[in-house]
Structure 1
Amino acid sequence: ERRMISNSNGSQPSQLCYENVNGSCIKTSYSPGSQIILYLVFGSGALLAILGNLMVMISILHFKQLHSPANYLIASLACADFLVGITVMPFSMVRSVESCWYFGERYCKFHTTFDGSFCYCSIFHLCFISIDRYIAVTDPLVYPTKFTMSVSGICIFLSWVLATTFSFSLFYTGANDDGLEELVSALTCVGSCQMAVNQNWVMIDFLLFFIPTLIMVILYCKIFLVAKEQARKIESINSQTESSSESYKARVAKRERKAAKTLGIAVIAFLISWLPYFIESIIDAFLGFITPTYIYEILVWFAYYNSAMNPLIYAFFYPWFQRAIKLIVTGEIFRGHSSTIDLVSEKN
């Protein structure tokens, strides 16, 4: 939670996060019915993020047919989303519903750092995936020699190292709230998990989101144009007597375009989820953290839900993932030689 969260809008000011502690935060009370609904909504998001991304990772790592540089990037992205589901969402769920932080000051800092790390990790992965798709669609026959396992490994390594180094160094050096000391002390109370980010770091935060996002949007626009051109060429080839090599080339191009389309949808989902949060962060930092807590909570949960969305996108668009889920759920993967099962046929 990379901003100030002050719980000063409580409907019952007498209720405190810690009844017998001086300087306790005021607790905002929801009715028992509302609390149950919120726990169900947030809890189902966390569960979907954990189980869905676990399915993606098991599928790609278990089935040999899915061992490709592009799929390892997807598995690594799923790992980042899986960690959001385990280390961030359950604690945020309690904080959002109870309006108090009950997990201690030390884990508050960890929680905030994990939140930032895995968010940027997802952004960098999606950026590298868009570069991979661009090469695959524009040059499908040369692509396997360009985007190798070692290139994929470097992309994964950079995504994790850059994201975690940035977040940990920002929050553990205290650089995030330089110049905001008075505001922090004025709004600090026992039972809040508050991290203020000053204007300079909010701008760096936003640029780390905006630059990779811009690269993604430009590349997917180019992919769309190339795909249209390829589709036109394939139609003209099909109208003539096609050679077997031209037919193979057309099938490869079609498969790569379908993969690019699916991952393009994942990028759009990411933008819709995270853009409102980053815009709010900038506005908030420059206007003195005036956003009401409930608006902030809505935006942050909108962003968290992105971690649960990617597996749903894959399940909807990838027949190989649907088949892999069936084999995992039925326990077929525990049988001998299950890793060599054919999941991807030419028609998929």
Structure 2
Amino acid sequence: MFFLAYYLFTICGNLLVVITIIYFKQLHMPTNYLILSLAVADLFVGILVFPFSMAFTVFSCWHHEGLFCKIRGCFDVTLSTASILNLCYISIDRYYAVCQPLTYKSKINYHVIGIMILVSWGVSALIGIGITVAGFNQGKCEERCFIDALISTTLACIFSFYIPVIIMLCIYLRIFLVAQRQVRSIQSTCQSTMSRATVSKMETKATKTLAIVMGIFILCWTPYFIFLIFQPLTFDVTPVAVIETLNWLALSNSMLNPLIYAFFYSWFRAAFRLIITGKIFQGDFTKTKLF
């Protein structure tokens, strides 16, 4: 029952984001296409990876070695990496929007966003196929392929997680510092107590948003990638329960991304209400002003 709720929430949440961005023309902008790409990656994590992971959890991969595990591993690595790289590109987009607003539209346009999306999916596919071909499968590898597995796993972890997370941390730290400086500048010109209180709330909300974004991302993914790096070096058989717990914790980020990157925006919430209540089936709302 738990897995079913997990599965449905991930699919429904990301599908809602996909429909929202595609349907409402006001949301057809470069930034939202990155969010759309992220939602598609997370949607396929729910559709393709979750069933394999649930089967693995229930039956154990050791009883289905070969093609089953290779397919599961390829989907898992490819789609999870695509999700992470899209998150990284979203942080880059936010950096230019906040830190370089005057040149934002010239630097972040449809062409650039298209390249970002293609790179995200292309690199993800290469990593997913590469790590599968190397024979690495959830830390289990025969002696003859130990070196290949160790090298491929280390490189995959570096490009799939460590480099993106370092980029994201640096960017969000920079955004936070710039935002604080802008708030202080505005605050220095405010004369009324109410204005100062409003600015203070803005600063608090910005801080909480950035903390939630990075906090949940790191909480979900760090334990899994630390395990992937160090597990081949232990030469011990890791309990399946530990592997699955870390794997499901990482996959939960695909369930939480719609909440973090979509539900925080008031125009998305307005669009969601129109979709959930079925109003979009009662007329043409594609040109509805959401903000």
Distance verdict in 2 for CA 1:100–1:151, change over 3 Å: closer
Distance in 2, matches of 1:289 and 1:321, equals 47
Distance in 1, matches of 2:148 and 2:75, equals 16
Partner of 1:90: 51
Matched, 1:323 2:240: no
Distance verdict in 2 for CA 1:136–1:274, change over 3 Å: same
CA contact (8 A) 2:127 2:156 kept: no
Distance verdict in 2 for CA 1:229–1:78, change over 3 Å: same
Partner of 1:213: 165
Q: Residue 181 of structure 1: CA displacement?
A: 3.3
Q: Residue 337 of structure 1: CA displacement?
A: 3.0
Matched, 1:77 2:77: no
**Amino acid of the residue matched to residue 87 of structure 1?**
L
Query: Following superposition of structure 1 onto structure 2, how do residues 330-341 of structure 1 map, counting pairs within 5 Å?
Result: 330-341=277-288
Distance in 2, matches of 1:104 and 1:284, equals 20
Give me the TM-score of the superposition, normalised by structure 1: 0.73
CA contact (8 A) 1:84 1:118 kept: yes
Partner of 1:302: 249
Distance in 1, matches of 2:102 and 2:73, equals 44
Matched, 1:146 2:107: yes
Show CA shifts across 1:57-115 (max 9, x none): 11111111111111100110010000000001122112213335777842321211010
**Amino acid of the residue matched to residue 218 of structure 1?**
C
Distance verdict in 2 for CA 1:218–1:278, change over 3 Å: same
SS at 1:297 equivalent: helix
Partner of 1:204: 155
CA contact (8 A) 2:34 2:113 kept: yes
Partner of 1:280: 227
Distance verdict in 2 for CA 1:197–1:99, change over 3 Å: farther
Show CA shifts across 1:128-148 (max 9, x none): 111111111012232122211
Give me the TM-score of the superposition, normalised by structure 2: 0.86
CA contact (8 A) 1:57 1:75 kept: yes
Pick the aligned partner of 2:18 from 37, 48, 57: 57
Partner of 2:195: none
Distance verdict in 2 for CA 1:55–1:295, change over 3 Å: same
CA contact (8 A) 2:17 2:262 kept: no
Matched, 1:132 2:93: yes
Distance in 2, matches of 1:114 and 1:336, equals 38
CA contact (8 A) 1:133 1:260 kept: no
- Percent same amino acid among aligned pairs? 43
Distance in 1, matches of 2:210 and 2:290, equals 19
Query: Following superposition of structure 1 onto structure 2, how do residues 155-174 of structure 1 map, counting pairs within 5 Å?
Result: 155-172=116-133, 174=134
Q: Residue 330 of structure 1: CA displacement?
A: 1.8
Matched, 1:116 2:67: no
Q: Residue 332 of structure 1: CA displacement?
A: 1.7
Partner of 1:267: 214
- Root-mean-square deviation (CA, aligned residues, Å) is 2.9
CA contact (8 A) 1:94 1:101 kept: no
Q: Which moved more, 1:301-310 or 1:106-115?
A: 106-115
**Amino acid of the residue matched to residue 203 of structure 1?**
T
Q: Residue 169 of structure 1: CA displacement?
A: 3.0
Q: Residue 53 of structure 1: CA displacement?
A: 0.3
Distance in 2, matches of 1:258 and 1:131, equals 20
Q: Where do 4+ consecutive residues of structure 1 move more than 4 Å?
A: 100-104, 257-264
Q: Residue 259 of structure 1: CA displacement?
A: 8.2
Q: Residue 258 of structure 1: CA displacement?
A: 7.2
SS at 1:290 equivalent: coil
Q: Residue 313 of structure 1: CA displacement?
A: 2.3
Distance in 1, matches of 2:148 and 2:280, equals 46
SS at 2:286 equivalent: helix
Distance in 2, matches of 1:82 and 1:296, equals 23
Distance in 1, matches of 2:116 and 2:249, equals 27
Partner of 1:236: 188
Higher helix share: 2
Q: Which moved more, 1:228-237 or 1:214-223?
A: 228-237
